[in-house]
Structure 1
Amino acid sequence: MTDRSRRRPWLAVLLALVVSGLGHAYLRRWARAFGWYVAVTATLVLVVPDAAVDRLVAGDPPPIADIAPAVLVVAASVIDAYVLARRNNREYERDKRTKAGATSERVTSGTAPERADTGASTGQTDPGASTGRTDTETLTDRSDRSTVDDGGDVEAVSCPHCGRETDPAFDFCQWCAEPVDE
């Protein structure tokens, strides 16, 4: 799952308690959601006695021994939803730190690894190479450029956020998904 976002573990738990599998659906774990729904339903149909289900529906508390298997399966589903939400959030934070580290690495080195050969391929030179400016100022100059003429009919738009060239057909950067003002 590459498109991560933060999830609320308490909401996943609450949804898993309301309807089995719903907490996993909130986490976008569709196969697990279906699997937990089937597991709870199968436990209720195959393991829990019909008399206990009838008493529960009528509002009378059935003997705990009769409904214990269903309670255990629901508890396992709730715990699984909570653990998955926490794991998702840890991976989201790790990805966020990795992206922040890559961004700070680009700022300190002055060039993005993906754009290392753009000066040679377009005939342009590094604006900070002969002026003695710092790497941060050079990177700022690169991101301030709004268009780059590559000799063709279409001018490529440079993203003001990440500095990469974007497709002029889009009004957002396909690399960082930030809007590109024309």
Structure 2
Amino acid sequence: MTERSRRRPWLAALLALVVSGLGHAYLRRWARALGWYLAVTAAVVAFVPESAISGAFAGDPPAVREVAPAAAVVGASVIDAYVVALRNNRAYERERGETGATDATDSTDDGTANTTTAASAETTAGDGTVRCPACGKETDPAVDFCQWCAEPLGDADGA
């Protein structure tokens, strides 16, 4: 449903460290970005003393134990952004592996073989799914074109 692209895990982690939620926004995980931003804000409001906050703004660094709860939440956000980026890249590689083949033969559950070529009009797997030969995404078998890239799925003359 969404177009994936490779992301840099180190950049997602760095952005999450700089501004809470920014690493997740880079990964286009909007709800997760908002959630981490709110979690860090809540940790600061609930656990960091106001004197430490005002002292930090005045140039007096607070004690580590005063900001440790907020720092722990920020650390968890950084780790989460890194892991989500790695998972995104693995999913991207899997998608490319599925659609990258131009000539393949695989067997179905009933023992028959499905041969797909780049020139075939459509690819029907043993489980009834139809894949577009142009983009490789699953399409609706009830229509004669790919809803993702608008390429026709069947031969125009019906042969």
Unmatched 5+ stretches in structure 2: 105-115, 125-132, 135-143, 152-159
Specify the alignment match of 1:111 in structure 2. Answer: 120
CA deviation after TM superposition for structure 1 residue 67, in Å? 0.3
Report matched runs for 1:126-145 at 5 Å.
none
Counterpart-to-counterpart distance in 1, 2:145 and 2:2: 22
Q: Pick the structure with more helix per residue.
A: 1
Give the partner amino acid of 2:150: Q
Specify the alignment match of 1:151 in structure 2. Answer: none
CA deviation after TM superposition for structure 1 residue 2, in Å? 3.1
Question: Partner of 1:56: helix, strand, or coil?
Answer: helix
CA-based RMSD:
2.8
Give the partner amino acid of 1:3: E
Deviations 1:57-78, CA, capped at 9 Å, x for gaps: 2222211110000000000001
Greater Cα offset, 78-87 or 1-10:
1-10
CA deviation after TM superposition for structure 1 residue 113, in Å? 3.6
Counterpart-to-counterpart distance in 1, 2:29 and 2:45: 24
Q: Does 1:30 align with 2:38?
A: no
Report matched runs for 1:37-116 at 5 Å.
37-101=37-101, 103-105=102-104, 106-107=116-117, 111-114=120-123
Question: Partner of 1:4: helix, strand, or coil?
Answer: coil
Q: Does 1:3 align with 2:3?
A: yes
CA deviation after TM superposition for structure 1 residue 112, in Å? 4.5
Counterpart-to-counterpart distance in 2, 1:76 and 1:27: 16
- Count of aligned pairs between the two proteins: 124
CA deviation after TM superposition for structure 1 residue 104, in Å? 2.3
Counterpart-to-counterpart distance in 1, 2:37 and 2:86: 21
CA deviation after TM superposition for structure 1 residue 114, in Å? 4.0
Counterpart-to-counterpart distance in 2, 1:56 and 1:31: 30
Specify the alignment match of 1:145 in structure 2. Answer: none
Q: Where do 4+ consecutive residues of structure 1 move more than 6 Å?
A: none
User: Percent identity among equivalent residues?
Assistant: 59
Question: Partner of 2:61: helix, strand, or coil?
Answer: coil
- TM-score when scaled to structure 1? 0.60
Q: Pick the structure with more strand per residue.
A: 2
Unmatched 5+ stretches in structure 1: 116-160, 168-172, 176-182
Question: Partner of 1:61: helix, strand, or coil?
Answer: coil
